[in-house]
């Protein structure tokens, strides 16, 4: 009998493959059908697994997170409706397990979890970098395995994937305390920065901020005199480097609350001086300078003058300014008329202002 079966097998092996396939189909249809069905099922399972993909970014109100051909990504409202958490720290639409399950249930499908969370719900907020150190893996790998975490922390109640580290209660306590110390340090830095910013302005509880619109012919010295503030304060409050301002520019001016109304009136309309008032000796050079050519005064070059020497006579003015205003080079000659922009002059005190123009 064994010899007969050996001959049958020998003859069967000599038959061409196509004929063998026909023999199998005729002789064992049940076996062939079951095998095909099993292969098709496996292929479908692999295909279904490969269909899941991440779309868009966390926190958006548009459909985002995990989606497949059978289950589209959820909007933020749909996600919350399905019990997912979406806030500044976590977007569970991107959770490798919860996101897929929620999207499937929303569209009437059910899938089994193929991934087990290392931490199903964090007992407290901890730094991801500290978890990566404890688990001895790269922070980038941990972030990649947890796309639902949107910040540098693992918030309380969030799941964690991609590590083999099982923390003890003592480990959690240590990590939570480290995170709290980190937050306190950030708060201290914020308060320090806030104090630095507030040092540039008076206390809002005792001072009021008004807006002054620069007019043609204005310069910082004139504005500070009219509003009763210092030039240095105007520069500090408005982050002005140098003395250049332009018509139409908005300046913030801090004044005591008691003087706020009167300063606002002064800021709204320029103060007019009676024509009959005679200027004092100290005011004469200033009046003379401002009366000539509107925004510019004219300086007559004297023998021995240089651009640098002339610029020094007008605080705030540089030799380059004089070159630009008058389109001249270093060579100037006695008797030449040079224009000086009054908006650039920062000090009109008699001891610093040229007595003769």
Alpha-carbon gap, residue 88 to 68, rounded angstroms:
25
Alpha-carbon gap, residue 35 to 42, rounded angstroms:
11
108's tokens: 């009437």
Is the pLDDT score of 176 beyond 70? Answer: yes
The domain 284-344 is classified under which CATH number: 1.10.760.10, 3.10.350.10, 3.40.50.720, 3.30.70.1880?
Answer: 3.10.350.10
pLDDT for the residue 321: 85
Alpha-carbon gap, residue 222 to 214, rounded angstroms:
11
As a whole number, mean pLDDT of residues 47-69 equals: 83
Q: Name the more confident of 261 and 42.
A: 261
Contact 216, 295 (CB under 8 A): yes
Alpha-carbon gap, residue 323 to 320, rounded angstroms:
5
pLDDT band at 347; cut points 50, 70, 90: low
Q: Name the more confident of 50 and 103.
A: 103
As a whole number, mean pLDDT of residues 222-236 equals: 86
- Indicate left, alpha or beta for 327 from its phi (over 0: left) and psi (-120 to 50: alpha): left
Place domain 207-268 in its CATH homologous superfamily.
Answer: LysM domain (3.10.350.10)
- At 122-168, the pLDDT tens digits run 898 999 999 999 989 999 999 999 999 999 999 999 999 988 888 88
Spell out a b/e string for 45-62, using b for 16 or more CB atoms within 10 Å of the CB, else e.
eeeeeeebebeeebbeee
Alpha-carbon gap, residue 1 to 108, rounded angstroms:
59
Same fold, 207-268 and 284-344: yes
* Highest mean pLDDT out of 34-38, 85-89, 274-278, 351-355: 85-89
pLDDT band at 93; cut points 50, 70, 90: very high
Cβ within 8 Å of residue 126, ≥6 positions away: 153, 154, 172, 175, 176, 178, 179
3-state secondary structure of 330: coil
Alpha-carbon gap, residue 284 to 350, rounded angstroms:
9
H or E segment to which residue 65 belongs: strand 65-67
**End-to-end alpha-carbon separation of the chain, Å?**
135
Is the pLDDT score of 282 beyond 70? Answer: no
pLDDT for the residue 65: 95
Is the pLDDT score of 279 beyond 70? Answer: no
Can you give the pTM of this predicted structure? 0.44
All structural domains of the chain with their residue ranges: 2-51, 53-179, 207-268, 284-344
């Amino acid at each position: 009998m064994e010899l007969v079966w050996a001959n049958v097998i020998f003859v069967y092996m000599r038959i061409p493959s196509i004929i063998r396939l026909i023999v199998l189909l005729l002789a064992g249809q049940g076996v062939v059908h079951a095998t095909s069905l099993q292969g098709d099922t496996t292929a479908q399972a692999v295909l279904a697994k490969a269909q899941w993909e991440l779309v868009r970014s966390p926190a958006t109100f548009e459909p985002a997170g995990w989606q497949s051909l059978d289950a589209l990504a959820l909007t933020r409202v749909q996600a919350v409706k399905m019990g997912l958490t979406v806030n500044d720290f976590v977007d569970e639409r991107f959770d490798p397990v919860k996101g897929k399950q929620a999207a499937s249930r929303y569209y009437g499908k059910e899938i089994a979890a193929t991934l087990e969370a290392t931490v199903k719900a964090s007992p407290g907020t901890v730094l991801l970098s500290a978890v990566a150190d404890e688990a001895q893996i790269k922070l980038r790998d941990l972030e990649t395995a947890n796309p639902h975490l949107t910040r540098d922390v693992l918030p309380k109640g969030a799941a964690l994937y991609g590590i083999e580290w099982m923390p003890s209660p003592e480990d959690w306590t240590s990590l939570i305390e480290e995170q709290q110390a980190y937050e306190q340090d950030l708060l201290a830095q914020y308060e320090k920065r806030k104090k630095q910013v507030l040092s540039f302005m008076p206390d809002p509880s005792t001072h009021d901020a008004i807006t002054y619109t620069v007019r043609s012919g204005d310069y910082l010295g004139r504005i500070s005199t009219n509003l009763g503030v210092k030039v240095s304060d105007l520069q500090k409050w408005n982050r002005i480097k140098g003395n250049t301002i332009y018509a139409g520019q908005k300046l913030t001016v801090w004044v005591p609350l008691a003087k706020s109304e009167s300063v606002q009136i002064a800021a709204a309309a320029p103060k007019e001086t009676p024509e009959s008032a005679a200027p004092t000796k100290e005011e004469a050079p200033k009046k003379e300078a401002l009366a000539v050519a509107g925004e510019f005064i004219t300086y007559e070059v004297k023998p021995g003058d240089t651009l640098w020497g002339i610029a020094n006579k007008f605080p705030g003015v540089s030799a380059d300014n004089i070159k630009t205003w008058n389109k001249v080079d270093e060579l100037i000659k006695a008797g030449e008329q040079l224009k000086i922009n009054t908006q650039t002059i920062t000090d009109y005190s008699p001891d610093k202002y040229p007595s003769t123009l």
